[in-house]
Amino acid sequence: MKTVKKYISYAFVCMGLQAGLVAQNKMPNVVVLMADDIGLGDLSFYQKERGVKKVTVETPNIDKLINQGMRFTDAHSPASLCAPTRFSMLTGNYSYRNSRPFGVWTPEADALIDKNEYTTSARIAKSGGYTTSFFGKWGLGGSWVREQGKKIDHAYLNGGALSYGFEYACELPEGIQNEPYAFYENRKWLPLKSNSVLKELDANQTGYATSKKHKTRGGLGDSNWDPKSAGNILAHKAVDYIHTQKKSKPFFMYYCSQAVHIPHEPPARFDGTKVAGTTPGDHGDMIFELDLQVGLIVDALKKTGAYENTLFIFTSDNGGLSFDQGMKKAGHDTSNGLLGSKGSINEGGHRVPFIAVWPGKIKPNTISNEPIVGQDVVATLAALSHQELDKTKVLDSANLLPYFKGTAKGKAHIYLMHQSAGGPTYALREGDWKLIVKSDVKKKANKVGNLTNVALFNLKDNLSEDVSKNLINDAKYAKRIAEMRAKYIELRKTGVSTVN
């Protein structure tokens, strides 16, 4: 009898050890939250770090993430504008590898992902055992079809997130800034109210009536459309999704907030908290609403017990916005002292927040100075799900797990590539050196063209890119300029990977 008990006891010990190993090796949930048009200076943490006299907008939930995880000081959006970055965040490739690498992509446009045989973050996650979901602004085209009916126009999705590996999607095809002004759930129009119809909306309803540049912008949308309510709807849909997830299977959520893109239409309240009028301008109010979205989603993860096994990443699709006069008068600097903002080839156009929190894996309040790009999420997902990345398809994404854990021994990227539709202008980053060149080819064409040297900066000594310290005409650096220029052309023409 003693022998039997001994074996039973031993069996339970083995079972316990096995359960412990399973728990240890369990893949974490992954939530990637990408803000729209957020610069470093939009977050109160960076304002305080920079020593501003008066913080213009408080972002306590995002600041808390910074304190609980790792912040990257040299993180970049893949491009300085929306759609190219969204392409890269899905595929792990710079947008110049797409034949349409610039600007805003219309909802009817082909996303050009499948035709070029790119894989996506969602496909990788799904094949690795993750449940996949997408929320918010798609902005990649290839999804919306407008049909002319006899009585009224109607719209439907025949693509979007479900075509690229996501199993559930609550989408705003073009965010809040363009038609269709409507939500779509798993490709079906999601009426905002029981009496909703799809109709032509005017600029008063879309929120653009007060815009100097877009004051007549309307378009097809839900008759009950109100940009003030979009964030509330989106965030609560994400919360509902989190509450339905089973603990036995990890989930990958890609949440693309509508905030803080124009039109800046802050809600009176968000989930019970006052928003409109809490900062010096509507832009600041939208930043505050974004922070409340982050808090709501994090709270849902904690309430369901998922947070402790979740890798949570916060970043932005490009640099911030700088035209809100009320915020400017209050001293707001969206770029946190850097040159340029959204759309710029300078650091303010693409150096963005990148915050990673993973309880028990990433040490709280840590800093990484490693140069990274938002599209590194793709390779990181492959590593998390123990999959070999197809480097013939994913050329520009680096696995960040060693940097999260503090075990990295080398550089993530050999080169960083930057681009701006203005010019178009390109930049190559090699170590601390940044070469900026301008092409004579129109931005609609994906060709290198003839390049004109614009600037050479040593970011270690000149992070603000002070033009008085532009070294482009300094003979001492002629060799470096020539070599970096040649390298940029080589990378563009040969399709060589930019990661180690």
Q: Write out pLDDT tens, residues 198-241.
A: 999 999 999 999 888 899 999 999 999 999 999 999 999 999 99
pLDDT tops 70 at residue 20: no
How high is the pLDDT of residue 195? Answer: 97
Q: Which band of pLDDT confidence, cut at 50, 70 and 90, is reported for residue 83? A: very high
- Give the tens place of pLDDT for each residue, 409-420: 999 999 999 999
pLDDT tops 60 at residue 345: yes
How high is the pLDDT of residue 110? Answer: 81
Helix-strand-coil percent breakdown of the chain, rounded to 5? Answer: 30, 20, 45
How high is the pLDDT of residue 21? Answer: 36
pLDDT tops 70 at residue 14: no
Q: Tell me the CA end-to-end span of the chain in Å, nearest whole number.
A: 60
Cα 62 to chain center, whole Å? Answer: 15
pLDDT tops 70 at residue 365: yes
Yes or no: say if 169 and 176 are a contact pair by the CB < 8 Å rule: no
Q: How far is CA 327 from CA 56, 60, 280, 334, in A?
A: 7, 19, 5, 9
pLDDT tops 50 at residue 11: no
What average pLDDT score do residues 11-25 get? 39
Helix axes 282-303, 230-244, angle to 10 degrees: 10
How high is the pLDDT of residue 105? Answer: 76
Report the alpha-carbon distance of residue 269 to residue 404 in Å, rounded: 36
Is pTM beyond 0.85 here?
A: yes
pLDDT tops 70 at residue 18: no
Report the run of H or E that residue 14 belongs to, with start and end. helix 2-25
**Residue from 101, 103, 104, 125 nearest 113 by CA:** 101
What average pLDDT score do residues 470-493 get? 97
How high is the pLDDT of residue 149? Answer: 61
Q: Which band of pLDDT confidence, cut at 50, 70 and 90, is reported for residue 141? A: confident
- Average pLDDT score, the chain: 92
pLDDT tops 70 at residue 111: yes
